[in-house]
Structure 1
């Protein structure tokens, strides 16, 4: 189900003066869906409480001419866990999907996926975090209770059944969903998959309807990994390849080009 519930988003933002602060604050505070804005020039940090997608908030910030990187996501509740999946496939489909446990009963799913054909696409958590054969080795839908396939609002469904996301004419699906069965702590280490077609939510006559929703081939996938909550990500330089936060910002969000083809030599 779509949600209007707010979450807090922590961004690193390149700001050098008070006019930068005023520009960012003005761009955010006038937007419907934004409840609160905190800007710290010294830390180059912006914290936004909003019911918008993370992508929408980032676009508002970067519309002022300042680059931004999402560093953490959280809520007003005690930290119950957050995760991220970076999706990529054999084609041009790629994206980032974040999960935040808002409460013991509700999980927020916030994502942007590019390169899709316009229209609905099935989105599912799969049992295995195995990409050795790309998305084919992810296993079946995450279904710990052994139920049949259904829609996200059905009481009988796979836990991993997240329904459909809708790609616009530009091939981008930007979505913000809330789910009552998914728990972040249960899906870390599993995989998230977006499919080529629409999930029929188990309501059609096709033999695959109550198994997969007959949503077609798996276009892109990614392992669900634990991610930073608010103020937990202190990274400025990535230890794995030596690039800065901002150099990493200019790389593709997933797929080819994400990793540095020429890592710096070790200092001996």
Structure 2
């Protein structure tokens, strides 16, 4: 059973009617336990088990945009921007994986894909975080030793913990899946994620439908209150427009 977790979103709201409209719509979504909208700070705090991508879609259906600002608690969240390393395409960013650890051994993964060929794709965590050559340089599927009990003896057995699951991409090049895996966030940081129709490899760098990215920590619910990026000087909504233009929702 998935444990409830917290997420927070920036949402443009002008009055209490906006707050009511958003809250009413969100409570109709399966997995929403609590909604707390702050008009002054333009933030919506949510507790439940609904995927962040579904929450964004519901808010957008009210005629407003939404930006995920944080999820889970400090050191329990991660993100992976997925891109193709093919030189044949200019818009290389094709997906995003948001991750939040909801219990000591369970991490939820909200995977969104946009702009690749239709079909079934596998999301795997790789041994290395080297994406200098795209998926080619990420190594094999992440494995770890666990003890398998045979009689009274515990025998080490390799388990491919890095096989996270599959996602179906439709005719418009879009796919979304919500996965849960028995791993902790700290085990994933610095590793790479590959999304490909070929689960095991080998991969080709010039395959524009194979995506790869490095998993990095992201803000918890209470950790990210910045509205302007210190690097670019752009506010979160300007950055959002660029992300949408690159196919990231």
TM-score bucket (shorter structure)? 0.7 to 0.9
The runs of 4+ residues in structure 1 deviating greater than 4 Å are 214-218, 253-257
Which fold has the larger relative contact order, with Cα–Cα distance below 8 Å and residues 6 or more apart in sequence?
2
Report deviation, 1:72. 0.5
Map of 1:221 onto structure 2: 212
Q: Choose from 159, 162, 172 the match for 1:160.
A: 162
Alignment of 1:64 with 2:66, yes or no, is no
Q: Unaligned stretches of 5+ in structure 2?
A: 148-156
Report Cα offsets for 1:228-267 as digits up to 9, x if no partner: 011101121111111111100111369699xxxxxxxxxx
Is the 1:109–1:178 Cα contact (8 Å) retained in structure 2? yes
**Match of 2:141?**
141
Secondary structure at the counterpart of residue 165 of structure 1: strand
CA separation in 2, counterparts of 1:215 and 1:169? 26
Q: Secondary structure at the match of 1:11?
A: strand
CA distance in 2, matches of 1:15, 1:184: 33
Provide the C-alpha distance between the structure 2 equivalents of 1:136 and 1:236, rounded to a whole number of angstroms: 37
Q: Which of the numbers 227, 233, 241 marks the counterpart of 1:236? A: 227
Q: How many residues in Structure 1 have an aligned counterpart in Structure 2? A: 230
After TM superposition, the structure 1 = structure 2 runs for residues 1-268 of structure 1, keeping only pairs within 5 Å, are: 5-74=3-72, 79=74, 81-89=76-84, 90=86, 91=89, 94-145=94-145, 157-180=159-182, 182-197=183-198, 199=199, 212=200, 219-252=210-243
Query: Structure 2: how far apart are the matches of 1:186 and 1:137?
Result: 19
RMSD of aligned alpha carbons: 2.7
When the two structures are superposed, what TM-score results if normalisation uses the length of structure 2? Answer: 0.82
Cα distance, 1:13 vs structure 2: 0.6
Tell whether the 8 Å contact from 2:144 to 2:158 is kept in structure 1 after alignment: no
TM-score, L = length of structure 1: 0.77
